[in-house]
Structures are given as C-alpha cells and as structure tokens.
Amino acid sequence: MHRIDLLVLSAAAGGLQFLSYEPTGWWPAAWIGLALLFVALLRCSTWRFSLLVGFAWGTSTALFSLPWIGSFVGYGPYVALSAVLGLLAMPAAWAMWFVGNSGLPTWLRLPGMAALVAAGEALLQRWPFGGFPWLRVAWGQVDGPLAPAVALGGTALVSFLAALAAAGLVALLSRRFLTGLGLVAVALLVGSALPMLQPLPEAAPEAQTRVAVIQGNVPRLGLEFNAQRRAVLQNHADATGELARRVRAGEEQQPDVVIWPENSSDVSPFRDSEAARIIDSAAANIAAPIVVGTFTYDNGTQNTMVVWDPALGPTERHEKIYLQPFGETMPFRDLLRHVSDMVDRAGNMTPGSGDGVVATGEGTPFLKPVKLGLATCYEVVFDGAYRNAVRNGATMLATPTNNATFGFTDMTYQQLAMSRMRAMEFQRSTFVAATSGVSAIIDAHGAVGKQSKIFEQKVLTATLPQYSHMTLAARFGAWIEGGIVAFGIVCLVGALVGALRGASGGAAGDPARRRRNTHL
C-alpha cells in the first residue's frame, strides 16, 4: 500500500473509534477502527512511518471526538490538544509496529499489539499533567458484549478485549482463520464470563434507598451563566421545593438523599450568607440531606461537594482530587500567557486528598444513611476515583457535573457513558447530576432508568439498592491493568531480543524487511 493510503487508514481508524462513543454508540466501529490501525502498522515499511501512522490515528480520534472543547476555549486550543494527543499516541504505535512485524509467532504478535493499545492508555491516564484518558477504547463499548468484563478487570481489560477482537479481525482478513476466530472468541468469552465470576448479589429489602437527582438548569447557554450563578442556585432550590411539595402531597416518596450538581451553588455558602440561607431552606423543606456542589477555601480554592444536613447544616465534604489541566489548573501559566490571553481564564485550584466518600443521614435518623462515592465531573474518567471510594466503603456512586459550558455538544453523552461503565465496574447504583443535562439514574447493571434532556429543569427519583460487596475490578483492577501492560512490554522485549539476535543475518534482523517476506 502507498504511504498516503496508510495515513488514510489511520485517520479512518480514529473516525471509527469516535463512532463507537456516545451519542452514536456504534460499538463495533472501535473493533473495525483498531483493525484498520493494525493493518496500517503491519504494512509500514519503516519505524519512522509508524510514528506518522500513530500521529494520524491519535489526532483524528481527538479531532472527531473532542470538538466540544472548542466551545469553551476556541478552536485553536482544541486543535492543539488533538495534535498533542496524536504525539502521545506515537510511542504506542511504534511499539505495536515493532511487535507486529517481529519474528514472534502470529498468535503472540497480535495479542501483543492489543496489549500495547491498553499500555498506551495506561500511560495517558497518568501523564502528562495528571493524564487525559477521555478517549479510551472502553468508553465506546458500554452497550457492547465486552462491557460486562469491566467488573472483572476494569476499563483496561475492556480496551484490551476490544483490541484483541480487532486483532482477530486482522487475522481473519489474512486468512488465518483459526487464530482469528480464537482471538475473537476469547474476547467474547471473557466479556460474557461476568455472571459466573462476579454475579450481582441479591439486594436485601432494607438496602432499598430513595434518591432524588436535581437538575435545576441554568438561565442561558454558554459561559454567560457564571454571571447569573445565584439564579442557578435558586433554580436548584426551587426544583427541590417542588419535589418537597409533591412529597407532602403524597405524590412522591420521601427521599433519603438529594443530589445537586457540581457548581449548583457557584456562590459559596461558606462566604455568602444568603446562599447558605437558600440551601438551609431547601434542605429543611425536603427534610433530607442535600449533596451540594460549591467552592471552599480552607486550602486554596477547591471544587467541593458538601453534604448539607437539614438538622446539622454542612457536614462531610469531597474536594475534587483529579483536576482538569488547562481548565481548573493551568500548567506553565506564566509562559503560555505570552501565547494567549485565554490562559488566565483557567483556574488555579487546589486538589483534595480525601477518600471520595461522604456519609449522609447523620442528622436525619429517620432516613436511611448512605455512604456516597463521589467523582466530580472530570474525575469519573480516572480509574482511581471510584475505585478508591468503593474500597473505602461507598455503597452508591454519584457523578455531579456541570455541562452548561458545553451546550448541546456530545460531551454530556460521552460522560454519561463513563458513569454507566463505572456502575457496571463496581456494581453500584449510580447517579449523574448535571446543571443542564444530561442527568440520569443508572442501576448496578449500567442501565439508565431515567434521564433528563439537555437544558431542562428536571427532578429524577428512584428507589435503588445499596451494595457493599467489592467486584474483582475494585479489588484487583490496578493489578490486572499492570498485567496487561506487562504482557505488552514482554512482547516488545521479545521482539527486540529477536531483532538483536538476527541482526547479523541482514533482513532477518529488520522487522520491516522481514514483513515483506511473511504473510502476517
């Protein structure tokens, strides 16, 4: 194939991965896209060109998937971020190229390439600037046959299985039918093994808990809503008041806990007495603790979710731990200020250091207490956020988020899919509370029971069980991710050793030259 054809294949691979994400949600597209990427890498003649293939794949995936970033910071930074993500995809692409064109047997080379996809994601979850794992393959598998495997090995296992299935498609295309069918079958078997290996326990009647999610909506679209933040708080108080009216009328059950979104009180009640009065009144009106999104200032500026009890006032807090670089924080601020004046629109927040769990019901003994695991907005994308919360006793999960800035873009749907995947991963009832959409109630199987539309005021209520068991992913997810990464590295080392041993044999030592003499 010509080089331009390989770059087109790589860009198409990124476009297909985007189609697997919500709201399109065509999960097979990621398998086909990764298969195209593997074909392009297997056809590369040099290691240098494998880097270009990786850049085209990473950049195109971001360009297709992240235009909503441009609605916040403009299209220059959005394109720049996409190019950076392309650069960060290059090392994994080179490693996949080297393993794929090595002297290792086909049954080892193709799974090795699949493992290196997960290895690249593992790196991007942690580095640079704390990581940006928004474009993991796993997020596009939420409605596919591999999604249940998330409870066994976390999102890394789902990404690996999708890449393994893609490798099987490549083998089938190359008429290695036994290898291809075997790889696809292994992926599907692991994806369907959940009922046997990690069944969802039957919930006890006393575990049933009534939860209300409030989407108060914002006065108008875009960044301008910040100028009306007191109106946002009043919207959430009013929606809660309407729920309280229905409870008193017998039209709704009394909630055990009420969840407001991130930034639902952008005016901090810890500095503004009127904001505190509004929240106090709302909690007293509904006679239940409200989990409120606001800011606290005990350790710099922190994005905080606080439990506001009707009897005790503010009690436990979760300060956001995983902050969004170039949004809530600004790396190289002094340097980049000379490039763009938009730099100073980024925050200068301080990360929290808690366990991600808040307890509700301390001052309301007539209601069921909840140990609520919180991942505020961007935090849901990181494996450690909910994993840490569940390991510290969280019996339900919530993703409070502020989507108003991103309007009607795909961002809110992409994030909803992540919360659904986390519900499956930890087998917990999960609640998404957004300022303007989409809010949702998700059961422990990852199914959405109720959801709002974008930019509508909506109150969602449901009775769902609390669970206290830990899935295999909660216990061993980090180790399983490490095992997949280690397998990819072992394959890479094996390929390097083989290349060194064959160096004296001319073509035998050059993976790219050897590729021209083999069929996969």
Active site residues: 262, 320, 377
Q: Which residue has the tokens 């309407």?
A: 242
**Structure-token pair, residue 359:** 């307890």
**Structure-token pair, residue 353:** 């250091």
- Give the chain's count of helices (H) and strands (E): 16, 12
Do the strands 396-401 and 430-434 form a parallel or antiparallel pair, or are they unpaired? Answer: parallel
Residue 11 corresponds to which amino acid? Answer: A
Buried b (16+ CB within 10 A) or exposed e, 226-241: eeebbbbbbbbbbbbe
Decide: residue 8, CB within 10 A, 0-12 exposed, 13-18 middle, 19+ buried: middle
**Structure-token pair, residue 2:** 């010509």
Sign of the CA dihedral with 18 first, then 19, 25, and 29 last: negative
Decide: residue 318, CB within 10 A, 0-12 exposed, 13-18 middle, 19+ buried: buried
CA neighbor of 98 nearest in space, from 152, 131, 51, 59? 51
Contact 119, 489 (CB under 8 A): yes
133: cis peptide before it, omega within 30°?
no
User: Three-class SS of residue 21?
Assistant: coil
Contact 216, 239 (CB under 8 A): yes
Terminal alpha carbon distance of the chain = 15
172: Cβ contacts below 8 Å, ≥ 6 apart: 180, 181, 184
Distance of alpha carbon 317 from alpha carbon 306, whole angstroms: 4
Contact 164, 111 (CB under 8 A): yes
Distance of alpha carbon 312 from alpha carbon 112, whole angstroms: 56
Do the strands 257-259 and 208-215 form a parallel or antiparallel pair, or are they unpaired? Answer: parallel
